[in-house]
Structure 1
């Protein structure tokens, strides 16, 4: 009899502790706003476009996930089905969020999926100055300008709505894998690097997944990531590409839940196959298949006994200053009136004058953000089109008790951020893309990777154990 009572007491205590461990520790809110414009608009990402969009395959969205540990730690993560995050958008969202919601800069993270099938985001100089300025009509310019105003206001609105929707929740984390990303830097016989499939190049196939569960036990939101360009498509219709389809599949499987995609370090990664690689298969089907593969990875992570994520929540944000190796006079001579627009020629002239005076270009501020979820998870978010080497190195150097999640394309997408290896090798991600219209005065120095890593470690240490 005594044994039965004792056993019952143990079971009761065990049940109570289990319930306590699964009780909501957080407050979380999620919100969604559609970004798809009503009419045609110039799309971003490819400089060879000659006309605005002619339809919609998949709507694009701004989504926000607000997390509060109940002890003063909070973060709002905004995911955007867009080519990038212009500094003007980040500055506007930061200023308005501080004024209306009391958010501090380190409590806001903006990430773009880098879909090449979403509306043009100004100022994207490569598109605006190489093609848009020559081919666009007045109505096209007006549509892009109107979208910028709408975008800024919408991002602030979705942040506010996520904060207002805050309710008790618990967080869990796990990872799975998806395999359609492949390195796209292929070494050619002449020693240069082309943009083509490279099956032996470095990749990061991890699919990190953070799920938010309400007090009622139902899934409220799932934040997931992958390191791969959203460039399956290349047409003239609006779409979130594979990331948009993945979100759609997840939300269809979990009615009432919101799926948010956060782009990883996919600067030198492409989805393969893509475009017209598969004879007879429409490219839209390829985007959908990649989206299904990514969604399946998320489903797997959700089913694989995710790890509870406790508080406290701490975050830090600062700029890493990246120095340039300026272009030579010979390199600047290649910019001519036949191939380049007046704004580009003016920049070339200014760079030649600075070179003659011995002046070095000012360093570029690259935002680095670290968010620490108790002892369970470290999230590192870096600006620019970050190549995969950064993700692999950060995970290796921060490896410990906490899982490590690395995102690129965050807070300011200024162009490519190559690792030392990629900068030394050259090619599109090493220097070509960044100087093709002189939006950068040269390549980053070989020290860029170490500068970024030093800032990552500095911010992680500042958050304490």
Structure 2
């Protein structure tokens, strides 16, 4: 088989100031400015006539609608099969809302942005296909413990402190680095009104400064893991108002430096194959209360009135309620028969495997996939290819809490285990290739 070739492409995908921000349903005000740009970073891999693409988006989610359009364009214009395009979000809570709220001021800004976004992302992939060069590969594995806390079981719950890294080199220099780490991108809280990629942005920019080339960050299975930044109390781990840009930079730099250190202590090798596959999965959803159009419209009117009167406390409560109601309405539209259709994907590069999971899997999900994998390096990317809400463990369903409540968790118990099983089979299939 021919030697591996790779190319990279990058696009700025920063939305206009004034768009509604996503991630915190109680945050009322739109973006007031830009602290750091958001990017779509893509790497295209080719060997023996097979092509695959990996895309990292500095956004809250990679929605199904966005991914489907990106895949369609990549297949038509770059010859990359749709099964071989993986799109994962870093899950920053300081980027644009990707679903929108009908009552949000300047909603038109968001609608125009979402219309243009798929083309921007796909253009990064297309650019990468025009820049293919032969590459060698390094694999690295490090550890960062300091910045993590299991927010459901502070101080005692499971964590995944592993920093996984893969570097594609051309002529002895880094062309593209992929870094995988599992932690919610919520260093910056609901009180932040500046657009930012949060700590993942600093991971990428720090690696790029140290090694050169482009750096794609893949957030891991971190549905129940938060940053443990200075000032964070174990009694109030959900309170993210204490985070600062300095904390985000420090956390990102720590992860980046660990990734670089692990790569520099490893040897590069030639790779002669790239393989990709995805499997469609059907998950049963839980019963949920129906929302009438009259209820929804009444809440929208109340929200608008609170905004007009400057009653920010009431507006915050109503926006959270409105967010939950609109999630339910979208759920009704997507799953009229009570079945959620989504996917699991895997990409193999030499002895490394990247597993893409939809939604927000709990940390145990990623740990189980890694433990079962025979690959030399296994990365688990959450927030990949679809936004389906939290994927808790069966134990978490028994314990209750925010992450297992409707409508932020719509799947029935057992969904996470089902995805682990499907991912494990996919990895085994890819390792049997070549």
Map of 1:390 onto structure 2: 365
TM-score, normalised relative to structure 2: 0.84
Select the residue among 115, 133, 137 that pairs with 1:149.
Answer: 115
| Structure 2 gap segments, 5+ residues each | 234-238, 300-317
Map of 2:194 onto structure 1: 237
Determine whether 1:453 maps to 2:428: no
Question: Is the 1:416–1:433 Cα contact (8 Å) retained in structure 2?
Answer: no
d(CA) in 2 for partners of 1:133, 1:73: 43
Select the residue among 270, 276, 288 that pairs with 1:315.
Answer: 276
Change (3 A) 1:361 1:242: same
d(CA) in 2 for partners of 1:463, 1:346: 36
d(CA) in 2 for partners of 1:181, 1:281: 15
Map of 2:26 onto structure 1: 48
Which range moved further: 36-45 or 282-291?
Answer: 36-45
Map of 1:133 onto structure 2: 102
How far is 1:419 from its partner? 2.0
Determine whether 1:163 maps to 2:129: yes
Matches within 5 A, 1:344-359: 344=325
Map of 1:68 onto structure 2: 46
Select the residue among 59, 63, 82 that pairs with 1:105.
Answer: 82
Select the residue among 96, 99, 103 that pairs with 1:119.
Answer: 96
Map of 1:33 onto structure 2: 11
Question: Is the 2:136–2:169 Cα contact (8 Å) retained in structure 1?
Answer: yes
Change (3 A) 1:371 1:236: same
Question: Is the 1:326–1:361 Cα contact (8 Å) retained in structure 2?
Answer: no
Structure with higher Rg: it is: 1
Which range moved further: 153-162 or 446-455?
Answer: 446-455
Select the residue among 185, 201, 208 that pairs with 1:251.
Answer: 208
| Structure 1 gap segments, 5+ residues each | 1-23, 187-197, 352-358
Determine whether 1:416 maps to 2:393: no
How far is 1:323 from its partner? 1.2
1:2-48 CA-to-partner distances (Å, cap 9, x unmatched) read xxxxxxxxxxxxxxxxxxxxxx9311101111112343322111112
How far is 1:464 from its partner? 5.6
Cα RMSD, aligned residues only: 2.9
SS in 2 for 1:44: coil
Which range moved further: 422-431 or 200-209?
Answer: 422-431
How far is 1:426 from its partner? 2.2
Select the residue among 332, 339, 356 that pairs with 1:381.
Answer: 356
Map of 2:314 onto structure 1: none
How far is 1:217 from its partner? 1.2
Structure number with the bigger relative contact order (C-alpha 8 A, sep ≥ 6) is 2
Determine whether 1:325 maps to 2:325: no
Change (3 A) 1:111 1:222: same
Select the residue among 155, 179, 182 that pairs with 1:224.
Answer: 179
Map of 1:302 onto structure 2: 263
Change (3 A) 1:347 1:220: closer
1:389-440 CA-to-partner distances (Å, cap 9, x unmatched) read 1111111122x353222111100022111122223322122234526xxxx4
d(CA) in 2 for partners of 1:346, 1:119: 16
SS in 2 for 1:318: strand
